[in-house]
Structure 1
Amino acid sequence: MEGKYAYYCSEGILFDFCEGKRLEGRLLNSAATLSLFNPHPEKATSVLLTCYFVELEPITKGPFTLEAEQLRQIHLHEPLMLLHNTHYALKVEADLPIVAQHTTSDFSPFAQVPNDMETVTLYAGPLGKKETAWYFTDTWMGTNDKRSWYEHETLSISNPNQEAADVCLKFFGSYATGERVEFEREAHITIPAERVIPLRLWELAEVQFRGSVTGGGIHEKSVDFSSWLRSSVPIIAQKTRRAYKQFDTAIHGTWTVIGTPCGGSESAFSGGQDA
C-alpha cells in the first residue's frame, strides 16, 4: 500500500536496562504508544506503519483498517513490535487524512509511575523541497562537570527515501552571555536510504565551542545555540533533550520537538539559497 497521506517522526527508543523483564505487563524502563485517529465521520481508511532503524532494514506493520471516528493505539513496546535499546523513526501512511501522535514514557526500574513523558504530533507530508532544510532555534550544550544532574541532547534525522541523504549541519552561537560563542561551524554526514541516524550532540566536536573543553572532554560552561541542516533529499529532523542523575540509568526528564522546515524558494529562511 502507498497511502495518499503520510506522517513522520524521527526520535524513538525503548530503553531496557533490565534484559526484557516485565512488571505487570509493562517494560521496566520505557513504553511507547502510537495513537492514530480517523476524524472522518463516515469513511474508514487503510493504514500502513513503517519503522526505520540505524542499521536494520525497515519493517512494516499492516495495512490495517481504521474505522470512521475511531482511535487506535499501537503499543510499540509490546513483544514482537520493536527491538529494545535501538533508535527508530516512524512513517504512517493512510488513504484519508488522520491524526498521528507518538508518546513515550520513561521509568525507573520497578517503579509504577513514570519519571517523565513526552509526546509529539507526527509531521504531515508529503515531503518535498521544504523538508530539505531545517532549523532548531533552541539547542543546548550543558556542562559535564560530574554534577548530580546533567542533560544530553540527541538530534535524530530520518531518511525515508530510496537514496542516501548528504546532510550539512551548521551551529550558530549565542550572545546571551554578552560575548559571541564561536563554533567550528559545520559538520557533514551521510544517512543511508531508509535509515535514521541519532547524533549525540554532546559528543560532536563541532559544538564544543572554543575554550570550553578541558582535559577529558569536560565542558566548563553551558551554552545555548541554534542549529541548521540542509540535505540533498527531503528528511525529517527531531531533537530530544534528556535529563539524568549521576549513578542512575533512569531518565528523569525529557522534551522533544520536530524542527522548523525551511528549504526551497517558498521559505524566507532557506539558509541563503534555494534547495
Structure 2
Amino acid sequence: MERPIVEKSAASGLRKFSLLKEDPGRYLMRAVLAGMYLSIVVLVYWSLLNNLHDTPFGKVLASLFFGVGLSVIVFTNSELFTSNNMYLAVSSAEGKTSWPQTVALWVVCYLGNLIGAVVLTALLYFAGVLDSLPPEHALNQGAVHKAEQAAQVIFFKGILANWVVCLAVWVALQLKEDLAKIVAMILVVFIFLYLGFEHSIANMGTFSMALLSHGGLTFGQAVYNLIFSTLGNVVGGAVFVGLAYRYLSPEAMDQAEAAEAARELPPPRKAPKAAAH
C-alpha cells in the first residue's frame, strides 16, 4: 500500500514549506549545506573515475560512491532541490501546500544548492585542490561533454536522473532501518550515475570546479546545460514519481480498498459468556 508513503511525503512537503515561511534563513542554510555535501561527493566521483580509468571497475566504484551524497543529505535533513520536486508535488496534489508555494520553495532551494556548490568550489580552489586538475582530467572532460549535448538529450537525461533519484528516496521512505535506507539509496542512485544521466545540482558542482580549473568549459555552456537539466529534473521528480504515485494511491481508492477488505473478513466470533458463580 503506497498511501502511507504518499501521506508521509505530503506531510514532509508541508513541513519544508512551513520552515521556509517561518525561518527562511534556516531553510536556506539547509539548502546551502546540501549543495556543499553533493559537490564534495561530485569531486570524489570524478577523481575516482579519473584515477581508476584503466581498470574495468573504475566507473562501477565511482558510481556506487555517489549515493553517499544523497544519504548524507537525507540523514542531515538538508534540502535538495531534486528530491523536493517530488515532496512538494505530492504535498500540493494532496492540498497541503499550493502550487505557487511549491514553486517558491523550489526556487529558494535551487538557489541555496547553487550557493553551496559555489562555496564548496571556492574552498577547494583556495585549498589548491583545483590547481592540480589538468585539462584532460575526467572532471574537465566530463563537464565539457555534458555541455556539448543537444538540448533535448540533456532534458530527457534530466528526467531520467531525477526519476531514479526520487525513486531512491521513495524506497528509503518505506524502510525502517537506517542501514537498509543507506544501502537502498546507494544502489538505486548508482543507476543514474553509471548511465550518465543529468542531475542539475550535481552539475552545479561539476561546472563550478571545471570553470575554476580552466578545463575548457565556458560559463555560457554551463548555464545552457543547467537550464535543460533542471527542467528535466522537475519533470522526472514531480511527475514521474510524486504525481505518479499520488495518482496510484488516492485517498478515496484507498478507503474503498480498506472497506472491501473488511467485507471479505469473516465476522468476529463472540466471546462465550462467563459462567455464573
Q: Which structure would you say has the larger Rg? A: 2
Q: TM-score range by the shorter chain?
A: under 0.3
More strand by share: 1
Q: TM-score, normalization: structure 2?
A: 0.27
What TM-score do you get using the length of structure 1 for normalisation?
0.27
